[in-house]
Amino acid sequence: MITHFSVVSVFLTAFGSKNSSIHFVTEFILLGFSNQGEMQSFFFCSILILYLLTLLGNGTIVCAVRWDQRLHTPMYIFLGNFAFLEIWYVSSTIPNMLVNILSENKTISFSACFLQFYFFFSLGTTECFFLSAMAYDRYLAICRPLHYPSIMTRKFCVILICICWVSGFLCYPVPIVLISQLPFCGPNIIDHFVCDPGPLFALSCVPAPSTELLCYTFNSMIIFGPFFCILGSYTLVLRAVFRVPSGAGRTKAFSTCGSHLVVVSLFYGTLMVMYVSPTSGNPAGMQKIVTLIYSALTPLLNPLIYTLRNKEMKNALKKLLKLTIIQN
């Protein structure tokens, strides 16, 4: 495999001695929110509180699903894994963001940048797959209730969960390798708080329209594939719900699916703004805000959305809280 160094060497040779002063970029500078110098302390405290609350909320859901036998059903097993995923998803960016806010040079090595890129996008892709699997679970529960126990067995549930995790982490090695092979010879300033493909393409010494088109097409497929599965599942769910004769039955069905639809709307709404169109031309400030919403704010809201609208989960959390108090 051609290394990043060899690609740069070929590039420099092609340009001749006139450009021999060009140097290989070994690190990037993540500007983050550095333009608001007087607001650094506010940003640091706000993001730290948001991060801790996210860990606490999703960690509580994981513990509740793990320890309460009544929640050992496919729906809650999916929810527990989803909460576990959110912990790692937010941890792929927030700790580095906090260090970046306090740092003076705000640098990140070439390898660390693409490592963050890999985990951030792999976990985000896994979340897309999980939302799709959870929508399928709700479709079976509402549209095929008599067949649900025989189809959504615990074994099948575990298989779906494994597919989501493995597929999510197998999707992005190729795009990351392609982008990492681009020649980066300066400048090395990324006006963002994460290593995102858009700013990285902008820093490449030579245009790479084919690689850029490939990556944005791939991103669109990753986003729209699960999204259409979710849309199809909930179209069938809503059609089935409207056929329920009793108002109480419709309310219960909507309550079961409402929280999931809110989470899907929050996550996909911001995701499509960022990655669907390669020519969206979003300014750097808007990119940071949108990325912060789906990478940090959404994982914080997810446990609140699920627990506030779910009676079984609220009872399990109360039981867990009582157990914690008794043990202490």
Average pLDDT, the chain: 80
> Does residue 285 or residue 43 have the better pLDDT?
43
- Tell me if the pTM is above 0.85: no
Q: What is the pLDDT of residue 15?
A: 37
Residue 252 in this model has a pLDDT that exceeds 70: no
Residue 109: other Cβ atoms inside 10 A: 11
Q: What is the pLDDT of residue 17?
A: 36
> Is 4 inside any structural domain?
no
Residue 7 in this model has a pLDDT that exceeds 50: no
27-30 and 107-109 beta bridge pairing? antiparallel
Where do we find the tokens 């050992």? 72
List the alpha helices (DSSP H) in the chain.
4-15, 40-67, 74-91, 94-102, 110-143, 148-151, 154-170, 173-180, 197-203, 209-242, 247-275, 284-292, 298-308, 311-327
Greatest Cα-to-Cα distance within the chain, rounded to the nearest angstrom: 80
Which amino acid, residue 93?
Answer: T
Handedness of CA 15, 21, 27, 28 (dihedral sign): negative
> Is 22 inside any structural domain?
no
> Is 24 inside any structural domain?
no
If one counts the domains in the chain, the total is 1
As a residue count, the chain comes to: 328
Q: What is the pLDDT of residue 205?
A: 85
pLDDT band at 11 (very low <50, low <70, confident <90, very high): very low
CA dihedral angle for residue 176, residue 277, residue 269, residue 202, rounded to 10 degrees: 50
Q: How far apart are CA 62 and CA 67, in angstroms?
A: 9
What's the whole-number mean pLDDT along residues 221-225?
Answer: 88
> Is 85 inside any structural domain?
yes
Q: What is the pLDDT of residue 197?
A: 84
Joined together, the tokens standing for residue 143 give 């549209």
Query: Is cis: bond before 183, omega within 30 of 0?
Result: no
What 3-state class would DSSP assign to 227? helix
What's the whole-number mean pLDDT along residues 187-204?
Answer: 84
> Is 132 inside any structural domain?
yes
Residue 156 in this model has a pLDDT that exceeds 90: yes
Q: Which of 43-57, 74-88, 237-251, 297-311 has the lowest mean pLDDT?
A: 237-251
Q: What is the pLDDT of residue 55?
A: 94
Q: Which of 143-157, 186-200, 236-250, 285-299 has the lowest mean pLDDT?
A: 236-250
What's the whole-number mean pLDDT along residues 254-261?
Answer: 71
Give residue 192's domain range.
33-327
> Does residue 250 or residue 17 have the better pLDDT?
250
Q: What is the pLDDT of residue 279?
A: 43
> Does residue 303 or residue 89 have the better pLDDT?
89
> Is 23 inside any structural domain?
no
Residue 168 in this model has a pLDDT that exceeds 90: yes
pLDDT band at 187 (very low <50, low <70, confident <90, very high): confident
pLDDT band at 194 (very low <50, low <70, confident <90, very high): confident
With beta carbons less than 8 A apart as the criterion, state whether 123 and 171 touch: no
Q: What is the pLDDT of residue 115?
A: 93
Strand partners for 28: 108
27-30 and 189-190 beta bridge pairing? parallel
What 3-state class would DSSP assign to 72? coil
Q: What is the pLDDT of residue 12?
A: 37
> Is 12 inside any structural domain?
no
> Is 114 inside any structural domain?
yes
pLDDT band at 220 (very low <50, low <70, confident <90, very high): confident
Q: Which of 54-58, 110-114, 265-269 has the lowest mean pLDDT?
A: 265-269
Q: What is the pLDDT of residue 312?
A: 75
> Does residue 295 or residue 37 have the better pLDDT?
295
- Return the CATH number at 136: 1.20.1070.10
Report the chain's C-alpha Rg in angstroms.
22
pLDDT band at 327 (very low <50, low <70, confident <90, very high): low
